[in-house]
Structures are given as C-alpha cells and as structure tokens.
Structure 1
Amino acid sequence: MPDAEPRNLFEKFFATVSYMLDGPTVWVKEKIVEPNQKSYPWYHQKFRRVPTIDECYTDDVVCVFEADAQYRRDRQVESEILSILRERFESCTLYEAPDHMEKCTPLFREYENAATNWFIKYGDLGAYHNAKSAYMKQKHRMIWERRHGPVGSGKKTDTVDSTQE
C-alpha cells in the first residue's frame, strides 16, 4: 500500500526515495509511451468484414479479391481452432492415460464435430481453391440435401406410393 501515509521518519524517507526514483518513469510511461502505442498488437489485428462472394457482382474484381482474402483468413482461423482442439484431446489422453476413454470423451466429441464441420466446408476442394469454389460446394450440397435428404442418411423415400394411383 504505497498510497498509505508513512507512520514514522524511516518509512517517510524510503517513500520519498521511492517516489524520486519511480516518479519520472511513471510520468514517461503515462505521458509519452501509452498515448503513442497502437491499440492492438500486430498479431491481433482486426480486419473489417467484407461482402462474401455471393454478394459480389461478377465483374467486380476488387470485391472478389477481398472475398477470397477473407475466405483464406477464415480458413486459417478455423484450421488453427481445429489444431488447438486436437492438441487438447491429445494432451488429455496423455495425462489421463489409463482412463482416457472415459475422461476425454467430451473433448473427442467436440474435436470430431469441429473436424466434420471443417471438412463439410473446406474438404475435397483441391489444392488451389478460392471462395467461389467453396460457395459452389455449399450450393451443390444444399441442392443434394433438398433432393435426397441429409448427406449420409440414405436415399430419401418417396411419400406417394405408385400402387395407390
């Protein structure tokens, strides 16, 4: 408690010496350094959200470029999230060695769900893909699900029986 009043001459002397040494550094930090600092470090830069590829006109090259750049950033972030989830599950299995199947199951389910969602969005696109190819994949998946039901559930059965007609 440096703001408390010193009780005796000894404490008053050391408080004065402390203020003499600490005062100029605090003044430089508060008056010079902090006002000139950026509000974020370089690795936490926040990009503004731009229109997605479906909101761009076909001849708007700048919009398509920005949508591709945002798509690459989003893919990189989601890949890193998936990597962190995988590392958490692996460290849990190492830490909980004999009983890891019971104790690490929620982490495994979360990782599997995230991996499935990542594959639905980015999987099977090839090496050189962009926002347009990912958008087309999403569109084709939605058409498939409308015609045949959810992927992996088997073929959709017809509701009208041909013998009743």
Structure 2
Amino acid sequence: MPEAEPRNIVEKFFATVGNMLETPVVWVREKIVEPNQKSYPWYHQKYRRVPTIDECYTDDDVCIFEANAQYKRDKQVESEILHILRERFENCTLYEAPDHLEKCTHLWREYEDAATNWFIKYGDLGAYHNAKSAYMKQKHRMIWERRHGPVGSGVKKDTDQAPAEN
C-alpha cells in the first residue's frame, strides 16, 4: 500500500525528517548487516559433527574429548525434544479435557516411543557417564539381542540345543 501524499506543509516537513533518519538506517541494514548475517533455520547453534567414540584411537585424548562433548550436546537436545513432546501431550490433555483419551493418543504414543528410545540410549548409566559408557551399553545390548532375541520380547532362541527326535 503506497503512502498517502502529505496534505500540508507540516506533514511534508515530518515526512522529510523521517526519510532523512530512516534512509541511512535502511541502507546500512540492507547493504551491510543482512549480507553478512549467518542464516540457518535452527534456534540453537549447529555444531560440526565430530568422530564418535568408536572412531577414536584409545590414546587420542582430543578426539575422545570432542566425542564426549558431542555426546553431551546430543543428550541435551534429545532431552529437550522429550520435554517438548511431554508438554505437547499435557497441553492436549488439558485442552481436550473430556475427550483427551481419543484425541491425544497419537501424542502419547510419540512421547512413549521417544522416551523408550531415550532410555535405551541414556538410561541406567549413572550420574557420571560419558560417550564410552553409552557405547559399551549399546554394545552389550547388541550382544544380548544376538544371544537372546530382542530385549523385552520374552523370546529366547534355542540355537544351542539340538531338536528333539521322536
């Protein structure tokens, strides 16, 4: 919508003064600030991915430190995602008060899946854990699943015993 033409001398004066103040500011913003801004669609800083703990040599302290820092950042991000999913479910139950069992079940399932995955990765590690302890937990879980089937399924593969002959 184009600006209306000033009706009298006072409006022309204020429009001129306003343009004198606004024009340099707009020029600096468009020519200097915006071309030099980092533009990324995230609300948090996006760090460069470093090698994980399984890719580090045992005597490479810098690599191990970076892997631990990345592990802690990933845990914080995943914990915040879990917190947001929990808040969404709670807000849905408050908003959809009598019918929340039907209308909010998809949010509950998403939250439960995310909480299960978070616990698989970070749960039962204790207060002072690092990337190596999480990696060892993952390794032990894979060995368990290879020997006994998926955790929590109650299925145990009987590969060691020969089939009974009748």
TM-score tier (shorter): 0.7 to 0.9
Match of 1:164 in 2: 165
TM-score when normalising by structure 2: 0.83
Where does residue 114 of structure 1 map in the other structure?
Answer: 114
Q: Which runs of 5+ in 1 are unaligned?
A: none
1:70-99: per-residue Cα shift (whole Å, max 9, x none)?
Answer: 000000000000000000000000000111
| Secondary structure of 1:163 counterpart | coil
Look up the match of 1:76. Answer: 76
Provide the aligned C-alpha RMSD in A: 2.8
C-alpha displacement at 1:158, in angstroms? Answer: 1.9
Equivalent AA in structure 1 for residue 165 of structure 2: Q
The whole-number CA distance in structure 1 between the counterparts of 2:6 and 2:157 is 92
Over residues 6-58 of structure 1, what are the superposed CA-to-partner deviations in whole Å (9 max), with x where a residue is unaligned?
Answer: 8x7859x85x6354443222123223444555556xx6322100000000000
CA distance in 2: counterparts of 1:37 and 1:72, whole angstroms: 28
Q: Which amino acid aligns with 2:71?
A: Y
Query: Aligned equivalents of 2:61 and 2:87: distance in 1?
Result: 39
Instruction: Provide the rounded CA distance (Å) in 2 between the counterparts of 1:123 and 1:78.
Output: 13
**Alignment partners' CA distance in 2, 1:36 and 1:53:** 36
TM-score, with length taken from structure 1: 0.84
Task: Could you tell me which runs of 5 or more consecutive residues in structure 2 were left unpaired when the two chains were aligned.
Answer: none
Structure 1 vs Structure 2: percent identity of aligned residues?
Answer: 77
Alignment partner, residue 140 of structure 2: 140
Structure with greater helix percent: 1
Q: Which aligned pairs between 1:29-108 and structure 2 lie closer than 5 A? A: 29-35=29-35, 37=37, 39=39, 44-108=44-108
The aligned length equals: 160
